[in-house]
Amino acid sequence: MTVASQIKALAFDVFGTVVDWRGSISHEGEAIGAKHGVDADWMAFADAWRAAYQPAMERVRDGSIPWTNLDGLHRANLDGLLDRFGLAGLDESDRDQLNRAWHRLDPWPDAVAGLIRLKRKYTLVTLSNGNVALMVNMARRAGLPWDAILGAEVARHYKPQPEAYRNTAELLALEPARVMMVAAHNDDLAAAADVGFATAFVHRPREYGPGQTTDLEPARDWDVIADDFLDLATKLGV
């Protein structure tokens, strides 16, 4: 595989690619529901919270609201959802604690072992829309061995805006072709490819649960197509 020899750094999408947000958020919802004697469909809660994610970032991208990091967007989205799930009575402390559930997402089973292998050869950075504190807290809890936390908050642009990708390559002092975007999402890879990154698609067919309909297959002939991070390491010769 010739692309592997040109690559110096791997830039990772995180939500869905490295960690299972849906399982983790539904468990956190269930726990806070139990504390308050509330029963609800906590998978639907996770899905509803996540569904508000792109529209909120879009308001930042199009300039309707000033720069707001993901903790801030998540919190506004949460406040708008609680009533639907019987949690309108949560106080500030509970809301803040629940909002930080995104800092406590669990990695997919192969993620940590795969990253440890990949780190032997490649610089590993986050290129996520998550903010720095979220990424740092997640990494410390889950053991994700990043070399640096880059991406949206540092670039002040949310993916798929090209500035988010370009800023990451610039901060690493690498030509875009030396950086490989790793994501479970075709649109993320397309935006990375547009600025010259190499691309690796990783299958995460359960990110949205058993009924997932999107990103089940690579939409293009990406440079690498992998079943999980261990397969990615093997395909990159690590």
> CB 235 → a second copy: shortest distance, Å?
22
Length of the chain: 238
Is residue 150 a contact point for a second copy (CB under 8 A)? yes
Is residue 118 a contact point for a second copy (CB under 8 A)? no
> CB 136 → a second copy: shortest distance, Å?
5
Q: Which stretch binds a second copy (CB under 8 A): 29-37, 150-158, 184-192, 201-209?
A: 150-158
How many CB atoms sit inside 10 A of residue 163's CB?
15
> CB 13 → a second copy: shortest distance, Å?
18
Give residues 167-196 in contact with a second copy (rule: CB under 8 A). 171-174
> CB 44 → a second copy: shortest distance, Å?
29
CA nearest to 84, candidates 48, 54, 115, 125: 48
Question: How many residues lie near a second copy (CB under 8 A)?
Answer: 21
Question: Does 160 sit behind a cis peptide bond, omega within 30 degrees of 0 on the bond before it?
Answer: yes
Closer to a second copy by CB, 80 or 143: give it: 143
Is residue 149 a contact point for a second copy (CB under 8 A)? yes
Is residue 140 a contact point for a second copy (CB under 8 A)? yes
Residue type, 138: M
* Near a second copy by CB under 8 A: residue from 17, 26, 99, 123: 123
Is residue 40 a contact point for a second copy (CB under 8 A)? no
Cα-flanking dihedrals φ and ψ of residue 125, to 5°? -130, 155
Is residue 63 a contact point for a second copy (CB under 8 A)? no
Closer to a second copy by CB, 45 or 107: give it: 107
Strand order in the sheet with 123-128: 148-151, 123-128, 9-12, 179-183, 198-202, 224-226
Where are any strands of DSSP class E within the chain?
9-12, 123-128, 148-151, 179-183, 198-202, 224-226
- Which residues are CB-contacts of 219 (< 8 A; sequence separation ≥ 6)? 186, 190
* Near a second copy by CB under 8 A: residue from 17, 24, 99, 131: 131
How many CB atoms sit inside 10 A of residue 81's CB?
17
Torsion, Cα of 212, 17, 42, 160 (10° steps) = -80
> CB 209 → a second copy: shortest distance, Å?
30
**Site for a second copy, rule CB under 8 A:** 71, 123, 125, 131-133, 135-136, 139-140, 146-150, 153-154, 171-174
